[in-house]
Amino acid sequence: MRAKRLFATLTVSVLVTLGACSGDGGTEDEGTPTTEAQPGGTLRLGAVKDCRAACDPQRQQDQFPTTLFDCCLLRTLVKVEPAPEGPTFIGDISEDPVVSDDGLEFEFTLREGVRFGPPIDRPVTAEDFIATFERALSPATEAFDAANYRVIEGAEEFAAGEAPTISGLEAPSPNVLRIRLSEAAPLFLPNLASVSAAPIPPELMQGHAKDYGRFLVSTGPYMVEGIDAVDVSGQQEPASGYRPGQALVLVRNPAWDRASDPIRGDYAYPDSVEVTIGGSVEDYSLKIDRGELDMQIDGTPPASALRRYSTDEALQARVVTEETAAVVYSTMTVAAPPFDDEHVRRAVNWIVDKSAVIRLIGGPLNGTVAHHVFPNVSIGGALADYRPFGTANDAGDPERAMEEMAQSAYDSDGDGRCDAPECTGVIMLGSPESPGAEIAQSIADDLEAIGLEIDVQLLENRYELLDEPSNRVPMNTWAAWGTAPYDPSEIAGPVFHSEFIGPKACCNEVLLGATPSQLDGWGFASDSVPSVDADIEACDQMPLGQQRSDCWVALNQRITEMAVWIPLYEEKITRIVSENVVAAPWSPLYQFIAFEQVSLSPDG
Amino acid sequence: MLWFLLRRVVFGALVLFAVSVLTFLMYFKLPAGDPARMITRKPTESREYQLARERLGLDDPILVQYARFARGMIPLPGLFLDEDVYFSYQSNIAVKDELLLRAPYTIALGVGGVVLTLLITVPLGVAAGLRPRSRTDSTAGAFVLASISIPPFWLGGLLLFVFWFKLGIAPSSGIPASESAWEAVLAGRFILPWITTVVALGAIYVQLLRSEVSEVMGSDYVRTARAKGVPRRRIVVRHVVRGSLSSVVTVLAYDVATVVAGAVVIETVFNIPGIGRYAVEAVTASDLPVVMGTTVVFAVAIVVTGIVLDVAYLYLDPRVRYGEGSI
């Protein structure tokens, strides 16, 4: 009895403590401060996931640390600014590039004053770029975008170990780099904006094939704390400023010359950047509320926090949101019944309640309904009003869906419901992670109205099944793919070209372009499926510009109307910033918040 | 005694071997994914993928692959957790380096947590055992109930919410880059994690001591001591507590090993970059070298703890002697 009374007393005490501390947090919600911000201060960021591959810029492309590479650590030859009429190129380390008329030769003149930071502390030269490309193309590096550089003349031979150097790379002088391609590649120049093409000093390449990221030498306004203590010639200990799984600290790079940097030279406001690694989005949200963190890099803020901030006028200014060139979708394999019938696929597109999906992802701050396969941003917004399966409030249209289904061979009585045996037990793979699981169930519930009984299977390793066409998986949901903000080729090819079918290639799960013998070999009853290979190849060959954009727009419409996907939503990047942040501008060059342009309140 | 220790070490090595084989086989039997694809993220026809398979020896017979890992379990310089084999598929960082970086935080959490647990639970358990059905006994009972009922992840979150977020009197989760484990301890960053550890571990100590002390108080030798006029305090300290501690030491030893090996939940809730989190993240990511490396470390910790425990018994309880028949 006494024990029960004591426990009750303890419980009540806790509850009273909680009740007494009502309100939104330990700090007053004042929204964005109105005091004038000065350069200075420490920008405090949070990263949910640590770097892969020891933060090697050639071996990983995750949001953290790539966003920090772009703004603060690694300069590249050029940067790309997306525009509706086609991207424009801004010289970063290089002056404006000179391109030959046939698009096969490029000449880059490196700017004066561009130097490697400590411990190298010398000018960046053309030879450094040659060494960097060689490292990227070396199979031992496992560079994520080595394929982008294989169009350089001699690159294939070098990568195969048949040549000691890449014949298409020349350095006629220390500050001039010439690149010759073996074939026209419209995206070669914009691909040089990738951090994997940022110069790496050869002095630190030796012995760091797997862990260069821990010895990262900066060319930007900041450097990893402690990198100046690395002994280049002797026993090398990693820079102390990066503690795997814990934190990354950036400090000002003394070797950076503002005058040589047209992109960042006017900025570099914070004195330092401290990144906490490994916390959860909920943890970071609370810290932002208390002003102990300025923003998170990766991960989406909790839905509850987004709701609170977006509905409170005093806090709305602290929400930064931008569209991305990434789309989330469900796939329907065109060879697998009942989706081998276009009417069934179109009926599915009519019935799915996309507004429910938006609610499940936490609202319009996290995404906008997608109406076609290529993200709007990637085609310059040309199809912003194109909605071939548009419904009132994006809630789905059962009538239209049933009309479509009635035309299908799988609806024998024409009542608008799929009634063939193939309509039951249709497997849909999904992710067990939230909200993927909820989205899968929501779609499955919608499809019931047109007679499709979906068997939702949520698997961590679903892509191992999807990559093997002989598994004949009919549907996959909550898949995502992104592309460059100026061009949808990174979606078009890998997701719809026949070259990318199967485990040896990935990721054309819908099997567009599969040959009859392939289909037979995988056990499909269908002996032919549509193909868009020729359209993709035609668009891909065109130089960047209006003609290429128009080509992608037409292809987008064709694939959308084939209904091989259910485009669900286009992702947005949404972040909440603390009250210490006076300004957090979005950079079209980095496609993220420009951390070097963030100005902090002197009161913070 | 020497023979006994030698036998324990040999037995420990056999345990380590069995654990490593089981871990390795489980990894291969479960759908853990293709490490080469995980590292390169390239199609299987690509050169990078093929090179990665060669580099990792994935096409070697399973025994050969295991032998590479087994070699890294030999506790000799240059062999133990060999960097060429024991490196993370995700981060490429040597398992040894990560363990060395993370160990201080796990040790700070584990040792501090256990010390605080003992400081609170031993007096409470002894006092409860000395005064059955008193208010002290009721308090101990309430503590035991709370400790058993409250999940550590919930308690940790609650403590953070109340003491950090609402009241602002405790530091937030995470350890800044500028702070070593010792500096983090001095900054008070481990107080809430330690309190969580006390609640997570404490029930069994209080309950054990309560019952042991009660039992020992009624034993013949204690009655004899009382009859001889030995002061109560001396009876309690030199006879009762000492006699009750052997079972506590058993539990303590394995709790130390478990907590030092990694209090995963507590490390996760408080964002402490410790070994436990490292191990769990590796399991989730199917990062075999890290899983094997941390398993080796955990197994060694448990085996060594067991040996230390057996030696401790000799001191605590003179009735215990290890004869020829002992393992």
DSSP-assigned letters across all residues of A254-321 = TT--GGG-TTTTT----SEEEEEES--HHHHHHHHHHTS--EESSSPPPHHHHHHHHH-HHHHTTEEE
Rounded to a whole number, what is the distance in Å from the CA of A49 to chain B's nearest CA?
A: 11
A positions 139-168 inside 8 Å of B (CB): 139-140, 142-144, 146, 159-160
CB-based contact (8 Å) between B195 and chain A? no
Give pLDDT, residue A162. Answer: 95
Residue A124 lies in a domain: no
Which pLDDT score is estimated for A34? 40
- A270 in a structural domain: no
DSSP state at residue B28: H
Q: pLDDT at position B319, please?
A: 61
pLDDT of residue A139: 85
In this prediction, residue B327 has a pLDDT band, given cuts at 50, 70 and 90, of very low
For chain B, the structural domain boundaries read 96-284
Residues 6+ apart with CB under 8 A from B81: B72, B94, B95, B96, B99, B293, B296
Nearest CA in chain A to B54: A140
* Complex prediction ipTM: 0.79
Q: Which of A14, A50, A504 sits opposite B43 (nearest CB)?
A: A504
CA A190 to chain CA centroid, nearest Å: 16
Contacting residues for B303 by C-beta, under 8 A, at least 6 apart: B12, B15, B16
pLDDT confidence of residue A74 = 98
* Long-range contacts at A255-259 (CB < 8 A, ≥ 24 apart): A255/A115, A255/A116, A255/A117, A255/A118, A255/A121, A255/A218, A256/A115, A256/A117, A256/A218, A256/A219, A256/A220, A256/A221, A256/A222, A257/A113, A257/A114, A257/A115, A258/A221, A259/A113
Lowest-pLDDT choice from A9-13, B161-165, B213-217, B226-230:
A9-13
Length of chain B counted residue by residue: 327
A248 in B contact zone (CB under 8 Å):
yes
CA distance A32 to A153: 53
The region that residue A586 occupies, defined by phi over 0 for left and psi between -120 and 50 for alpha, beta otherwise, is: beta
Q: Is residue A214 a part of any domain in this protein?
A: no
- Is a pLDDT exceeding 80 seen at residue B213? yes
Phi, psi of B310 (to 5 degrees): -65, -40
Determine, yes or no, domain membership for A407.
Answer: yes
Beta-carbon neighbour count of residue A63 at 10 Å? 16
Separation in Å, CA of B114 to nearest CA in chain A: 24
Phi/psi region, residue A394 (left: phi>0; alpha: psi -120 to 50; beta: rest), is left
Residues with Cβ within 8 Å of residue A377, at least 6 apart in sequence: A82, A323, A324, A325, A485, A570
Structural domain contains residue A408? yes
Could you please report the per-residue DSSP string of A498-562? GGG-STTT---TT-TT--HHHHHHHT-S-------HHHHHHHHHSPTTHHHHHHHHHHHHHHHHH
Contacting B residues, span 54-73, partner chain A, CB-CB under 8 Å: 55
Contact A6 B172 (CB under 8 A): no
Tokens of A200: 């790496």
Domain B96-284 annotated CATH 1.10.3720.10: yes
* Letter string b/e over residues A547-584, b meaning 16 or more CB atoms within 10 A of that residue's CB: ebbebbbebbbebbebbbbbbbbbbbbbbbbbbbbbeb
Q: How many CB atoms lie within 10 A of CB A445?
A: 14
Shortest distance between the Cα of A83 and any Cα of chain B, in A, equals 30
Chain B, window 146-165: residues with a beta carbon less than 8 angstroms from a chain A beta carbon: 146, 158, 160-162, 164-165
- Residue B262: the pLDDT is 58
**Model pLDDT, residue B178:** 77
Tally DSSP H helices, then E strands, for chain B: 15, 0
A29 touches chain B (CB under 8 A): no
Establish if A80 belongs to a structural domain.
no
Decide if B229 touches A, using CB distance below 8 A: no
Give the per-residue pLDDT at A229: 93
Q: Do A2 and B277 touch (CB under 8 A)?
A: no
Who contacts B123 (Cβ-Cβ below 8 Å, separation ≥6)? none
Q: How far apart are CA A358 and CA A122, in angstroms?
A: 51
Domain total of chain A: 1
Alpha carbon of A244: minimum distance to chain B alpha carbons (Å): 8
**Could you give the count of Cα atoms lying within 13 Å of B14 in the half-sphere of its Cβ?**
7
Which residues in chain A are contacts of B135 at CB distance < 8 A? 2
The CA distance from A501 to A514, in Å, is: 8
Domain that holds residue A467: 323-573
Q: Residues in chain A with pLDDT < 50?
A: 1-35
What was the pLDDT predicted at B32?
Answer: 60
What region does A472 belong to: left with phi over 0, alpha with psi -120 to 50, or beta? left
Structure-block tokens of residue A11: 């419980």
**DSSP letters of A555-586?**
HHHHHHHHT-EEEEEEEEEEEE--TTEEE--E
Contact state of A54 with B91 under an 8 Å Cβ cutoff:
yes
* Residues whose CB is less than 8 angstroms from the CB of residue B325 and which lie 6 or more positions away in sequence, other chains included: none
Task: Give Cα A181 distance to the centre of its chain.
Answer: 27
Torsion of CA A457, A461, A462, A468, to 10 degrees: -140
Taking the Cβ of residue A286 and every Cβ of chain B, the question of whether any pair is shorter than 8 Å is answered with yes
| Residue B168, both tokens | 């602002």
CA distance B162 to B309: 38
Which member of B55, B98, B165 has the closest CB to residue A26? B165
Chain A interface includes B90 (CB < 8 A) = yes
Whole-number pLDDT of residue A27:
37
Cα three-residue angle A221-A227-A228, rounded to 5 degrees: 90
Indicate the residue of A2, A26, A283 with minimum beta-carbon distance to B168.
A26
Contact A26 B175 (CB under 8 A): no
Chain A contact set for B47 (CB, 8 A): 139, 159-160
Distance CA A201, CA A179 (A): 19
Tell me the pLDDT tens digit for each residue of B83-113.
888 989 888 888 998 999 899 999 899 889 9
pLDDT at B316 over 70: no
Say if A7 falls within a structural domain: no
Asked whether A2 and B135 are in contact (CB, 8 A), the reply is yes
Strands A88-91 and A78-81: antiparallel
The H or E element containing residue A222 is strand A222-224
The pLDDT assigned to A604 comes to: 59
Contact A377, A358 (CB under 8 A): no
Please spell the DSSP secondary structure of A328-349, one letter per residue.
Answer: EEEEE-TTSTTTTSHHHHHHHH
Q: Say yes or no: A279 contacts chain B, CB-CB below 8 A.
A: yes
Number of H helices, E strands in chain A: 17, 22
Number of CB pairs, chain A paired with chain B, less than 8 A apart: 131
| CB within 8 Å of A458: residues ≥ 6 apart | A429, A430, A431, A432, A436, A437, A440
Distances (CA, A) of A492 to A26, A60, A100, A135, A374: 49, 22, 27, 28, 8
A133 bridge partner residues: none
Pick from B34, B166, B175: CB nearest A26: B166
**Residue A194, domain member (yes or no):** no
For testing contact with chain B, the best of A6, A10, A28, A507 (most B CBs within 10 A) = A6
User: Is B93's CB within 8 Å of A54's CB?
Assistant: yes
Q: What is the least distance, in Å, from the CA of B313 to any CA of chain A?
A: 34
* Length reported for chain A: 604
Residue B104, token pair as written in the block = 């201080």
Cα A438 → chain centroid: 22
CB B209 within 8 A of CB B121: yes
CB nearest to B162's CB, from A18, A244, A246: A18
* CB of B167 closer than 8 Å to CB of A21: yes
pLDDT in tens, A205-241: 988 888 899 999 999 999 999 999 998 887 788 999 9
Nearest chain A CA: its distance from B168 CA (Å): 6
CB distance A597 to A221 below 8 Å: no
Contact B248, B317 (CB under 8 A): no
pLDDT exceeds 80 at position B228? yes
Minimal-distance CA residue of chain B relative to A239: B177
Q: Which of A3, A17, A142 sits opposite B141 (nearest CB)?
A: A3
Question: Nearest CA to CA, how far is A54 from chain B (Å)?
Answer: 5
Asked if the bond preceding A97 is cis, omega within 30° of 0, the reply is no
Higher pLDDT, A289 or B54: A289
Report the distance separating Cα A84 and Cα A549, nearest Å: 9
Closest chain B CA to residue A279: B271
> Is the model's pLDDT at B62 over the cut of 70?
yes
User: Which of B29, B85, B92 is the best residue to mutate to test the A interface, defined by the most A CB atoms within 10 Å of its own CB?
Assistant: B92
